[in-house]
Structures are given as C-alpha cells and as structure tokens.
C-alpha cells in the first residue's frame, strides 16, 4: 500500500489534574490512507475525542499535554510544527466536525460569514468569491435555497441542517483529512442516515479521508473501511470492517458486539460488559480490560499484553493469541468470538 | 430542541420570509419595545441628547451672558392675561423691577408687557461647530429678560446654562464607556481566553487598581490636572481619569464570562478552522458577551454622570466659565440658597432624570437580551 496520509504513532496525551495524571490517550497508533474511512470505536471516556483534539493540537493546555508520540501528516510531524504552521493546517488540510451541532456554530454570525471566514483565511479568496464558495458548499450539502439561507443565523436551522452546515464548513477548504467526532450522535436516526449518506457522497466527490469517531457500531458498519477499537486510551483491535464484525478477536470487541440490540429478536438477552471502564488516573497494571474480561488470565493482570498480529491487516492486543494462553482458553475464545460475530450479523 | 418545528420554515418558505434573517439584535429590539419603562427612559434620553445638540438654538442666551443687576432673579412668570384683565393671544412676560438690590428682591413691572417671540436673532453661535447662526427659539425685547428658570449669583440664565452644561454631563458617560470598554473587553478577553500566566498578570494588576480607594484616586488624579486646560481637553482628561479607575471591573467580569465561553464548541470549532487567536477572541468570543457589555454600558454611564457631578460639585471637574450640571448644582450648597433660591436645585433634578432614564433603559435592555426569554 502507498504511504499513509496520516500516521499516528504511540500518541500519548495526559491531563495533569489534582487527582493525578489522567492518561486519556496512552499509546494510540494507526495509519490512515488517502480516501479511506477509518472508524475509531470505543465507549465514553476511552479517549476517542481527546485523540482527535490531539491531532488538531487543540488540547487545552494546561492541564492537558501531548507527552509522547508522532503524528505524521503528509510526511511532517504535526507535533513538531510551530503554532503558525499548525494553524495553516487546521481547517485547511485537516478539518473537524464536532458532535453537538446545536453549539458548534456561533449564534451571532450568519452561517455564510462562518463558512467564508475560513475560506478567506486559507484559500486567500476575496470576500465575494468566499461568499460564492459558501453558497456552493451549502448546495453541496443539500441545503435548499442555499443562496437565501446563507444569510441566516444558526438558530434558524434544525439540528440536522446545522450538522450539514458544519460539514460544509469543514469541507470548504477541501481538506485531505476530515475528523468527524461523533457527527451523528446528537441527531435522530432518520437524520443520522441522511448525514452519513451525505458524508459518503462528499467523500467520493472530494476524495477526503475520514476518521469517524463513534460509539455506534451501526455507523461503523455503514461507513468505515477499517476500524480501530479503542479501550482506555489504547487501540485493542485494528482490522478492516468486515473482520471487525465477522471475525472479531479481542474480548472487548466481543463485548461491544454483544451489547448492541438486534432489531427483530426481543427474546435474546443483551450481554452487557460487566463493570465500568477503569479510572484513567490509576490504570491497573497489565491489560486495562482484564478486570472486566471473562477470559482474563493471571498474566493479564500483571503485564500489558503485546499487540499480536493475527493475520495480515488484523491485530489485537491480547494474550489469547500468544503462547501464554492454554489450548482450552483458545478454544473458549474461538467459541466466544464466533458467538459475537453471529450476533453482529444483521447489525 | 424541536427539529421539525425549526425545519418547517424552509418547506413553506414564503410566509416565513418576513421572519427570516432577523439578527439577534433585531429580536432583542422587538422585545425591548415591550418594556414601557425602558421606552420611557429611551425617549427621555433621546430628548435630552437632542436638547444637548440643539443647545445654542434652544437657549435664549449665550453661555457667557450675564445681567449683573439681576442676580438670583426668580423664574420669570409667563402670562396670557395682563394686569388690566385683557387676554393676549401671545404669551408675554413682564420686565423685572428691582425692589431691594441687597436681598435681593424683585417684582414684575406690570406697566408694560413683552411678547415672547419665536426665532429671534440673538447671540451668534455655531450649531455642532459647523452651522453658523444667530437664531434662537425664544426671546423677548429688552429690557425684559426671558429667565424661564431664574438666574444665578451673576445674573446668568439658568436654563441656558443647563442646556450648555448638558454637553459635559451627557457626553462624559459615553466617552468613558468608549475608552473603558475596548480596554476592558480586550484585556478581559485575553485573560480569560489564554489563562495561565497572562491571566495572572492582567488580573493581579486589576486587583492592585481595585485596592486603591477609587474616589480618592479620582480626586487626586483630577486635582493634578492643570487648571489652564481648555474645557474640551479637560472633559477628555476627566474621562481618562474615570476610565483609568473603571476598566478593571469590566475586565474582571469579562474574564469570568470568557472563561466559560472558551470551552463552548463553537469556539473550539473556530480554532479547529485555523483562525488566529486574536480573531477567535474578537470575532467569536467577545460578541457572545455583547448582552452583558451592552447592559454594563447603560449602567456605567449614569455612574459616570454622578461621578462627574460629584467632582464638579467639589470644584475638581469642569471649570468656569464652561459648565456642567454638577457645577451648576454646586451653587446650591448653602441652606440659604436652598430656601431662598430653590430654582438652583433644578440641575440636580436633571441629573436624577438622566440617571433614572439610563437605568430604566439598562434594565429593559438586560431583560430584552436575556437568552432565557428567547421564546420566539
């Protein structure tokens, strides 16, 4: 495969609080290729959003700090750029769409002004051309009568419409990477489907690579080419979308798949993952999922598991695929994996 | 939030057109008009400022006019029926007759009536420093005098001096707001937005300033102004003194507000769009504080008006022969003046009216901008 467009290497973002050091992102790593959609899945507090803000270098500092790692974008390490160089990448080469469409637009500026602002800044267009670009972008995201609505204020738009505006704004400078931080979480399902469809369409059109941050496996199945499952600030399983659902390997992924309700089968019980995600202040030694893991072995609670490559393009951070696990464990694991995968069909 | 309700207008676009594209300020304006007291305050202020601009035209006499023989003259009576019981179609006045020059005591000289004339030629002036004219709205022929609100110890017409003096009293508040608010907003905005060391430096200097007893600081600063300053320069210097004392409070409150807004998603989104920090502060953070700032401004102005009155009352503000309401009120300091020449209290009444008007308007604006009332 070609050089990755964006490559995150052992990224660590810590927050230094009074309670101690919160390891929000602790060794995140993946590659993103041109035009690809990468899903980053995990439950609340797993560090998904913090990792996205780290890529944009928008971590509030203090208390936050990127303590280690590399973010290689088009061959340059974003963490080594000056503030000014980074500012020119933000919104221009890497754009971001936020979760909450009701609060991510400035209520006192018209949406046209807000879209044009970034265009004027990055593309060096004059006001008039930027305004035309704003209208064009609103048309692209299918806002009816864009030419009139460009003069409207955010409060005159519904949630779904605002998210379209946000997407228009993010794509207005034709970035090569779009970070979408739970872009559909705050919307109702019918609007969600529209927004996802729109993003897919625009991706085909613009060739933008998308990092889709979500906790919704349905969104992943719908949108993504590859998936990184994140737990307690670390990637626990990475593979393509097909294998995520059909051949999941990490016990946490199984748990996620079991936690999704299926449409037609009421009788089948959901199997929630027991317990809570660990406090990121004092992570347990060893695998951070071990306390909740039904397959936890002794070694799991002692030493952090290595990332095991199961086959080409499929890696899991788990002892089940090392020689530490007994045959019996491995058989039980295979069965559990099959069960989870069976459940996931039809998601 | 109901998305369907908000989305509906775009389907049936035409009837909603009228309600379209109202800026938040337009919406607030509509609500403001519903508060009667605020409207009363606003109208009063418009009248006061209009009178201020038209002062040379409205005033019967010039600022430096004085009739030394008629000091402490009471307000002249305006009549329609003369001493012989005849009805006049034009209102008229009688000339003053000096009864006892030492008291002083005056009586109207009813032997002859003097009609009040409109648009008479009088002392020349320039309206707004531009339009030369000598037309005055009202006037009477000599030797009668049109002292509608009486005179002071030098026989100067109080009404004329009130009109001329309103410029200082009404402008100083606005001047101070124009100086204070940009400073307070930028410094408060920067402190709140960046936090850390920058925040510390700015806020500690605000605290040092706040630790001074502000009225004494004001008095000291005002008393070191050279007495040779022209009245315009003096007005500006006094405004600067007030601003120096006043910007800290605003900066401190704005810092608090900005601290809260800084983490709102649209600010994050603006930064994610790659906007420079100063632009994020000026264009995205500070406009959000507008409702507070507008209210603070309408409530700061009356404070400054009172402060200027206080300074002038103590002789540290505006200097004779130019005047302000505070300086005019300073003449009513003695019990004797209060009991015998009560018309000298009228400047105080005007101060009260102006301050109340600003407060009413400020309260109304605050309610109109309150986001919790944003129903429509």
- For the stretch A214-233, pLDDT in tens is 888 888 888 899 999 998 88
Structure tokens at A102: 């009701």
- For the stretch B90-102, pLDDT in tens is 888 888 888 887 7
Question: What is the reported pLDDT for B20?
Answer: 52
Q: Report chain A's mean pLDDT, rounded to a whole number.
A: 84
Instruction: Say yes or no to pLDDT of A342 above 90.
Output: no
Question: What is the reported pLDDT for A68?
Answer: 87
Cβ–Cβ of A151/B265 closer than 8 Å?
Answer: no
Q: Quick check: A106 contacting B, CB < 8 Å?
A: yes
Q: What is the DSSP letter of A286?
A: S
Structure tokens at A197: 């469809």
Percentage of chain B lying above the pLDDT 90 cut: 7
Q: Which residues contact B150 (CB under 8 A, 6 or more apart)?
A: B72, B73, B74, B75, B76, B158, B341, B343, B344
CA distance A152 to chain B (A): 5
Contact B202, B191 (CB under 8 A): yes
Cis? peptide before B248, omega within 30° of 0 = no
Region B242-264 average pLDDT: 86
**Site from B1, B2, B3 to mutate, A interface, most A CB atoms within 10 angstroms:** B3
Cβ–Cβ of B265/A100 closer than 8 Å?
Answer: yes
Question: What is the reported pLDDT for B49?
Answer: 92
Cβ–Cβ of B287/A90 closer than 8 Å?
Answer: no
Instruction: Say yes or no to pLDDT of B5 above 60.
Output: no
Cβ–Cβ of B263/A60 closer than 8 Å?
Answer: yes
Among A119, A120, A162, which residue's Cα sits nearest to residue A141? A162
Q: Which string of b and e fits A74-93 if b means at least 16 CB within 10 Å?
A: eeeebbebeeeebbebbbbb
Instruction: Say yes or no to pLDDT of A106 above 90.
Output: no
Structure tokens at B168: 């200082």
Q: What is the DSSP letter of B97?
A: E
A157-161, A331-335, B108-112, B156-160: range with highest mean pLDDT: B156-160
Measured distance CA(A98)–CA(B269) in Å, rounded: 7
CA distance B147 to chain A (A): 52
pTM: 0.73
Cβ–Cβ of B21/A152 closer than 8 Å?
Answer: yes
Q: Quick check: A149 contacting B, CB < 8 Å?
A: yes
C-alpha pair distances (Å), B44 with each of B48, B51, B75: 6, 11, 24
Contact A27, A16 (CB under 8 A): no
Instruction: Say yes or no to pLDDT of A247 above 60.
Output: yes
* DSSP per-residue letters across B161-214: HHHHHHHHHHHHHHHHHHHHHHHHHHHHHHHHHH-HHHHHHHHHHHHHHHHS-H
Is beta strand A177-181 parallel, antiparallel or unpaired with respect to A209-214?
parallel
Is beta strand B87-100 parallel, antiparallel or unpaired with respect to B105-115?
antiparallel
Cβ–Cβ of A108/B24 closer than 8 Å?
Answer: yes
C-alpha pair distances (Å), A96 with each of A89, A111, A181, A189: 11, 16, 7, 22
From chain A, pick out residues whose CB is under 8 angstroms from the CB of B273. Answer: 90-91, 95, 117-118, 121, 169
What are the percentages of helix, strand and coil residues in chain B, rounded to 5?
60, 15, 25
CB atoms within 10 A of CB B282: 14
Contact A244, A229 (CB under 8 A): yes
Question: What is the reported pLDDT for B24?
Answer: 67
More confident: B13 or A76: A76
Name the pLDDT band for A265 (thresholds 50, 70, 90).
low
Nearest CA in chain A to B289: A108
Region A98-115 average pLDDT: 86
Name the pLDDT band for B375 (thresholds 50, 70, 90).
very low
Contact B147, B132 (CB under 8 A): no
Question: What is the reported pLDDT for A268?
Answer: 63
CA distance A101 to chain B (A): 9
Cβ–Cβ of B272/A117 closer than 8 Å?
Answer: no
- For the stretch B319-358, pLDDT in tens is 777 888 888 888 887 787 778 888 888 888 998 999 999 9
Q: Helices B290-313 and B214-223 meet at what angle, rounded to 10?
A: 60
Nearest CA in chain A to B374: A155
Cβ–Cβ of A158/B4 closer than 8 Å?
Answer: yes
Cβ–Cβ of B23/A153 closer than 8 Å?
Answer: yes
Region B225-242 average pLDDT: 80
Question: What is the reported pLDDT for B7?
Answer: 42
Instruction: Say yes or no to pLDDT of A74 above 70.
Output: yes
* DSSP per-residue letters across A147-173: HHHTTS-GGGS-HHHHHHHHHHHHHTT
- For the stretch B67-91, pLDDT in tens is 888 888 888 888 888 778 888 888 8
Question: What is the reported pLDDT for A266?
Answer: 60
**Site from B264, B265, B288, B291 to mutate, A interface, most A CB atoms within 10 angstroms:** B265
Measured distance CA(B45)–CA(B23) in Å, rounded: 25
Cβ–Cβ of B7/A161 closer than 8 Å?
Answer: yes
Question: What is the reported pLDDT for B14?
Answer: 41
Q: Where are the beta strands (DSSP E) in A74-189?
A: 76-77, 94-97, 177-181
Of B3, B23, B195, the CB nearest to A159: B3
Cβ–Cβ of B288/A153 closer than 8 Å?
Answer: no
Question: What is the reported pLDDT for B3?
Answer: 43
Instruction: Provide the edge-to-edge strand list for the sheet that holds B105-115.
Output: B79-81, B87-100, B105-115
According to DSSP, the residues that pair with A37 across neighbouring strands are A210
- For the stretch B111-139, pLDDT in tens is 888 888 888 888 888 887 788 888 888 88
Q: Helices B290-313 and B158-194 meet at what angle, rounded to 10?
A: 140
Cβ–Cβ of A160/B4 closer than 8 Å?
Answer: no
* DSSP per-residue letters across B27-95: HHHHHHTT-HHHHHHHHHHHHHHHHHHTHHHH-SS-TT---GGGTTPPPPPPEEE-TTSPEEEEEEEEE
Question: What is the reported pLDDT for B356?
Answer: 92
Cβ–Cβ of B264/A158 closer than 8 Å?
Answer: no
CA distance B26 to chain A (A): 12
Region A26-38 average pLDDT: 88
C-alpha pair distances (Å), A120 with each of A74, A110, A127, A128: 24, 15, 7, 10
Name the pLDDT band for A264 (thresholds 50, 70, 90).
low
Instruction: Say yes or no to pLDDT of B51 above 50.
Output: yes
Q: Is the dihedral of CA B222, B227, B231, B237 positive or negative?
A: negative
End-to-end CA distance of chain B: 13
Measured distance CA(A184)–CA(A188) in Å, rounded: 8
Q: Report chain B's mean pLDDT, rounded to a whole number.
A: 82
Contact A169, A110 (CB under 8 A): no
CA distance A88 to chain B (A): 6
From chain A, pick out residues whose CB is under 8 angstroms from the CB of B13. Answer: 145, 148
**Site from A63, A95, A104 to mutate, B interface, most B CB atoms within 10 angstroms:** A104
From chain B, pick out residues whose CB is under 8 angstroms from the CB of A148. Answer: 13, 20
DSSP run (H or E) holding B324? none
Cβ–Cβ of B283/A109 closer than 8 Å?
Answer: yes
Region A173-177 average pLDDT: 88
| Rounded to 5°, angle at Cα B243 from B237 and B248 | 155
Structure tokens at A270: 């959901």
Which of 39-98 (A) contact B at CB < 8 A? 56, 58, 60, 62, 87-92, 95-96, 98
- For the stretch A116-144, pLDDT in tens is 988 898 888 888 899 998 998 888 888 88
More confident: A286 or B203: B203
Measured distance CA(B237)–CA(B234) in Å, rounded: 5
Question: Cα–chain-centroid distance for residue B261?
Answer: 32
Question: What is the reported pLDDT for B371?
Answer: 58
Contact A42, A234 (CB under 8 A): no
Question: What is the reported pLDDT for B19?
Answer: 47
Question: What is the reported pLDDT for A135?
Answer: 92
Q: Is the dihedral of CA B130, B132, B136, B141 positive or negative?
A: positive
Cβ–Cβ of B3/A191 closer than 8 Å?
Answer: yes
Question: What is the reported pLDDT for B357?
Answer: 92
Q: Count A/B contacts: CB-CB distance under 8 Å.
A: 105
R_g (Cα) of chain A, nearest Å = 21
Q: Quick check: A322 contacting B, CB < 8 Å?
A: no
Question: What is the reported pLDDT for B11?
Answer: 41
Name the pLDDT band for A210 (thresholds 50, 70, 90).
very high
Question: What is the reported pLDDT for B311?
Answer: 83
């Amino acid at each position: 495969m070609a050089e990755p467009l964006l490559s995150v290497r052992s990224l660590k973002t810590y927050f230094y609080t009074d309670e101690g050091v919160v390891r929000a992102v602790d060794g995140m790593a993946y590659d993103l290729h041109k035009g690809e959609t990468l899903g980053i899945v995990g439950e609340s507090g797993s560090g998904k959003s913090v990792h996205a803000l780290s890529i944009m270098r928008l971590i509030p500092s203090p208390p936050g700090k990127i303590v280690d790692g590399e973010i290689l974008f088009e061959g340059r390490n974003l963490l080594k750029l000056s503030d000014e160089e980074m500012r020119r990448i933000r919104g221009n080469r890497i754009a971001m769409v936020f979760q909450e469409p009701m609060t991510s637009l400035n209520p006192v500026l018209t949406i046209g002004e807000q879209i044009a602002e970034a265009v004027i800044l990055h593309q060096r267009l004059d006001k008039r051309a930027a305004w035309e670009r704003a209208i064009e972008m609103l048309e692209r995201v299918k806002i009816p009568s864009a030419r009139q609505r460009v003069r409207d204020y955010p409060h005159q738009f519904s949630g779904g419409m605002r998210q379209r505006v946000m997407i228009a704004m993010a794509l207005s400078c034709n970035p090569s990477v779009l970070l979408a931080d739970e872009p559909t979480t705050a919307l109702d399902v019918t609007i969600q489907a529209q927004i996802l469809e729109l993003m897919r369409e625009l991706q085909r059109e613009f060739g933008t690579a998308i990092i889709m941050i979500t906790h919704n496996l349905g969104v992943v199945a719908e949108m993504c080419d590859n998936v990184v499952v994140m737990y307690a600030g670390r990637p626990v399983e990475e593979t393509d979308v097909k294998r995520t659902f059909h051949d999941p390997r990490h016990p946490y992924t199984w748990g996620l798949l079991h936690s999704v309700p299926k449409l037609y089968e009421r009788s089948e019980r959901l199997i929630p993952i027991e317990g809570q995600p660990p406090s990121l202040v004092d992570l347990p030694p060893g695998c951070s999922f071990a306390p909740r893991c039904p397959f936890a072995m002794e070694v799991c609670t002692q030493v952090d598991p290595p990332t095991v490559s199961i086959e080409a393009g499929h890696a899991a951070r788990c002892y089940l695929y090392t020689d530490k696990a007994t045959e019996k464990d491995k058989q039980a694991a295979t069965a559990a994996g099959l069960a989870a995968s069976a459940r996931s069909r039809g998601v | 939030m109901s998305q369907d309700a908000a989305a509906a207008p775009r389907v049936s676009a035409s009837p909603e057109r009228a309600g379209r594209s109202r800026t938040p300020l337009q919406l607030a304006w509509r609500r403001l008009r519903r508060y009667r007291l605020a409207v009363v305050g606003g109208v009063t202020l418009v009248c006061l400022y209009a009178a201020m601009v038209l002062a040379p035209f409205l005033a019967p006499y010039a600022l430096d006019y004085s009739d030394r023989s008629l000091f402490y003259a009471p307000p002249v009576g305006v009549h329609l029926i003369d001493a012989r019981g005849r009805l006049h179609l034009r209102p008229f006045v009688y000339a003053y007759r000096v009864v006892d020059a030492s008291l002083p005591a005056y009586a109207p000289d009813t032997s002859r009536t003097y009609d009040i004339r409109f648009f008479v030629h009088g002392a020349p002036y320039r309206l707004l420093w531009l339009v030369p004219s000598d037309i005055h709205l009202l006037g009477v022929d000599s030797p009668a005098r049109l002292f509608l609100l009486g005179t002071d110890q030098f026989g100067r017409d109080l009404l004329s001096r009130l009109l001329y003096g309103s410029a200082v009293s009404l402008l100083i508040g606005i001047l101070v707001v124009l100086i204070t608010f940009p400073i307070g907003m930028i410094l408060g905005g920067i402190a709140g937005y960046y936090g850390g060391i920058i925040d510390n430096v700015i806020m500690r200097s605000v605290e040092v300033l706040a630790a001074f007893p502000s009225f004494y600081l004001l008095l000291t600063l005002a008393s070191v102004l050279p007495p040779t300053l022209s009245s315009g320069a003096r007005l500006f210097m006094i405004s600067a003194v007030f601003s120096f004392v006043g910007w800290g409070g605003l900066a401190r409150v704005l810092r608090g507000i900005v601290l809260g807004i800084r983490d709102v998603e649209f600010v994050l989104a603006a930064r994610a769009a790659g906007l420079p920090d100063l632009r994020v502060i000026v264009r995205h953070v500070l406009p959000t504080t507008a409702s507070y700032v507008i209210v603070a401004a309408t409530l700061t102005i009356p404070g400054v008006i009172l402060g200027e009155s206080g300074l002038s009352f103590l002789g540290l503000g505006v200097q004779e022969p130019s005047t302000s309401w505070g300086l005019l009120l300073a003449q009513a300091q003695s019990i004797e003046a209060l009991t015998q020449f009560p018309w000298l209290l009228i400047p105080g009444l005007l101060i009260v009216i102006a301050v109340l008007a600003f407060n009413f308007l400020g309260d109304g604006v605050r309610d109109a901008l309150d986001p919790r009332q944003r129903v429509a």
